[in-house]
Structure 1
């Protein structure tokens, strides 16, 4: 459990526990400090905990009228837009690109996606994001940004919610461009049945009405349930609480697909994955550790299992999303981030692009995924990546030293990021 200092901004609805209020309400005292609850996240990528900070504008010396709103990853359970450390702070993006960067955090896990009658209707995390994007539209010009040229970007679970936004009628007109980094697109949209089962398991684990217990108790029960759901072998990576189709602002699957296609013309999108998305999830797990100890074929088989999972969960769904958007009239660019640090056991794993994108490699020095990395490689590749992303935010086209043609069904081009 961690606590962070937060500037108060509109959220979709008051968190559980507490009375429900209109999601369209306006904040009365934006800017004062509040205490926000968040669950600590941990992985094999880097150490430490994260605070929780709702929308906060971060501005460099901005002259160009553009805006970028960004959401974090964390399996729809942990994460924040800007944490206590500088690991994901967008200062260099703002300074190098003359853009206004707005970081967005929203309710996660049971606080954001629990669907239980009389307790929470579900998809409050998506309602929070819509509230944040409306705030950006109404206020970004005061920071030097252009409300008609907003780019929404996310990584991992944050990318999955960006994917949801692409087909949400309530999000129409709130952004012009999108960046989808390592979305677990195979999740699709959650069903009412899976949401009901997840709620039943959580309420049984909690053993009380969540409206009558502390947020600490709620998050402790969520953490225990997540460990249980991962299974004895640690191979189940699907989050229990995630966006549910047909609830609140998220339409059912058929209408979402129709809205996705209908909103594609005039939309610019970057979609991509890393070379070994599942390595940080599977490599430390007991199942593949045991398999690697099997003589002769054990290590090769473990690698094949991990890569097959990455292809099924990330790579192929990303290509399908790119094809759907391109065929519907969007301009789409796809990429794969292939950098692998020489001494890293994870290779080009999930999140590997983040220290390059934010230019915060000094804050990732203890991260196993960057073990043995050459600082020159990180700086050079990071500058190139930021240049591409920033030119995309400004113009709708990523600028690179080597050609990066748009993705089409006839020519499904993929840009590879490596030193």
Structure 2
């Protein structure tokens, strides 16, 4: 009897839908419903005098922390103006109900996308898609949780506060450093939630995928042992920005910091608040793109880690990544905008060679294909090659399934896989069950089983009756095409990726991307 009580005291205690966990930072109360969730657990503390400084670990809870509601998202600009909060470094933990003292479940840590500027890890709340489709839906983690894994999602600083590259004041890659702080918290505490601290998968899409790749290249790799990159990696030019010393952004930051210190330290009542300060800064820079940069300390020209013997990596993208990059609801992004993302100024012969190679008789199709290849397909291949050459176990996929669960498709001419399309099969669309056809239901089972099997075993091809999924190697370069049927493709887009390989070699000095090869 006493032994049973002592076990409950250090594990989950269920009381009327509430679950209590005793962690190294104190007792945390969660909520048990169709699955158990611990929402808004703070892992880091931002300096109230300097929103750009490195965050510190959140101190131990003096009393039990009630993790029963989603936290505010990190400060960001939205169609409704600036939203969120600065003190936003929180994480959410989702687990199956009624874990026992012997459970050591695989842990899947999800980094949300949003071009390093928007989004949140609060996946069980309404996601507005009004800028594109005017529609909204609710995503939940149930599809993954049903496979007996633990899911953790992370909020981290975004935009100018997360990715200002001000080397003079040592402000750079703060959002990535926030994620690293969260990974350390998870490593130290996830066992209390029934997770295996030695079996942690890091995954994400878009900028979350690029972030995962950065951690693989630069962070302490003992914090995780598997990675899934969905539509983004650090070889792509879309994941880099430049230092801002001496420009108007730098001056605005200094002015805001001075005002915040004055407001906090002034004994008088002020017309402005600290919230006014950061909101004004976001509005002022809403059209600027802040992304990770080479700071010479955390991120360097060459990766810190070059031996991935014990790492399993799944690298993939969708067949129509760039269908989402539009300036308006109807106009496709101009191909010159794509070139500017990847290169400084290309000489006329370089531009002519691209136009000649991609002659298709359809300007829109050419632009989409150029963007897909330059920003996604070629970087994905280079990333896979790099990790194979550095002893990782690598698998690669292409998501081309023409399903109906991606609401954005209804405002696009394409029905094939768009960017982040696979996330709508990984996460449950709670408020849109009508979007799930029998075929889509089968894809949900396949994709969630594949992703969670990879989290469990480091191998995506352990599903009976679905055929082998070969590893990616330099001899065959196998890619799993996940479409209406499943097939393994050798040398995916080989002629096009060869073209860009030769192009980069010839015009390397003009490149804005990263060169690890």
Q: Specify every segment of 5 or more residues in structure 1 that has no aligned partner in the other structure, as ranges.
A: 43-48, 230-239, 292-296, 366-372
Distance in 2 separating the partners of 1:364 and 1:201 = 48
Q: What is the CA deviation profile of residues 366-415 of structure 1, one whole-angstrom value per residue up to 9, with x for unaligned ones?
A: xxxxxxx6622221111100010011101110134132111111111111
Distance in 1 separating the partners of 2:112 and 2:258 = 27
Aligned residue number for residue 403 of structure 1: 468
Shift of residue 223, structure 1, vs aligned partner: 5.0
Match of 1:321, SS state, is: helix
Structure 1 residues 55 and 22: alpha-carbon distance in aligned structure 2, compared to 1, 3 A threshold: closer
Q: 1:200 aligns with which of 234, 247, 256?
A: 247
Aligned residue number for residue 39 of structure 1: 76
Aligned residue number for residue 317 of structure 1: 379
Aligned residue number for residue 90 of structure 1: 141
Distance in 1 separating the partners of 2:292 and 2:193 = 31
> Does 2:232 correspond to 1:183?
yes
Match of 1:167, SS state, is: helix
Q: Specify every segment of 5 or more residues in structure 2 that has no aligned partner in the other structure, as ranges.
A: 1-37, 127-136, 261-273, 336-358, 485-517
Does the CA contact (< 8 Å) of 1:64 and 1:99 recur in 2? no
Query: 1:367-406 counterparts in 2 under 5 A?
Result: 375-399=437-461, 400=463, 401-406=466-471
> Does 2:301 correspond to 1:246?
no
Aligned residue number for residue 110 of structure 1: 160
Structure 1 residues 299 and 284: alpha-carbon distance in aligned structure 2, compared to 1, 3 A threshold: farther
Does the CA contact (< 8 Å) of 2:112 and 2:119 recur in 1? yes
Aligned residue number for residue 234 of structure 1: none
TM-score by length of 2: 0.64
TM-score by length of 1: 0.78
Query: 1:56-205 counterparts in 2 under 5 A?
Result: 56-61=92-97, 62=99, 63-83=103-123, 84-85=125-126, 87-94=138-145, 96-116=146-166, 121-168=171-218, 170-183=219-232, 185=234, 186-187=236-237, 190=240, 194-196=242-244, 200-203=247-250
Structure 1 residues 180 and 220: alpha-carbon distance in aligned structure 2, compared to 1, 3 A threshold: farther
Distance in 2 separating the partners of 1:207 and 1:407 = 48
Distance in 2 separating the partners of 1:299 and 1:384 = 37
Distance in 2 separating the partners of 1:374 and 1:20 = 45
Structure 1 residues 71 and 253: alpha-carbon distance in aligned structure 2, compared to 1, 3 A threshold: same
Structure 1 residues 22 and 242: alpha-carbon distance in aligned structure 2, compared to 1, 3 A threshold: closer
Does the CA contact (< 8 Å) of 1:278 and 1:310 recur in 2? yes
Does the CA contact (< 8 Å) of 1:336 and 1:415 recur in 2? yes
Distance in 2 separating the partners of 1:23 and 1:159 = 24
Distance in 2 separating the partners of 1:153 and 1:299 = 38
Shift of residue 201, structure 1, vs aligned partner: 4.3
Q: What is the CA deviation profile of residues 11-40 of structure 1, one whole-angstrom value per residue up to 9, with x for unaligned ones?
A: 274367459576356454583576554325
> Does 2:397 correspond to 1:352?
no
Structure 1 residues 377 and 226: alpha-carbon distance in aligned structure 2, compared to 1, 3 A threshold: farther
Further displaced range: 279-288 or 400-409: 279-288
Match of 2:152, SS state, is: strand
Q: What is the CA deviation profile of residues 35-77 of structure 1, one whole-angstrom value per residue up to 9, with x for unaligned ones?
A: 55432556xxxxxx99977211111145452111110000001
Does the CA contact (< 8 Å) of 1:89 and 1:358 recur in 2? yes
Distance in 1 separating the partners of 2:397 and 2:216 = 19
Further displaced range: 11-20 or 181-190: 11-20
Q: What is the CA deviation profile of residues 310-353 of structure 1, one whole-angstrom value per residue up to 9, with x for unaligned ones?
A: 11101110111011101211111110111235774243211211
Shift of residue 115, structure 1, vs aligned partner: 3.1
Structure 1 residues 138 and 376: alpha-carbon distance in aligned structure 2, compared to 1, 3 A threshold: same
Query: 1:291-330 counterparts in 2 under 5 A?
Result: 300-330=362-392
Aligned residue number for residue 312 of structure 2: 268
Aligned residues: 377
Aligned residue number for residue 42 of structure 2: 9
- What is the root-mean-square deviation in Å for CA atoms of aligned residues? 3.5
Which is greater in Rg?
A: 2
> Does 2:278 correspond to 1:218?
yes
Shift of residue 253, structure 1, vs aligned partner: 1.6
Distance in 2 separating the partners of 1:41 and 1:200 = 25
Does the CA contact (< 8 Å) of 2:256 and 2:278 recur in 1? no
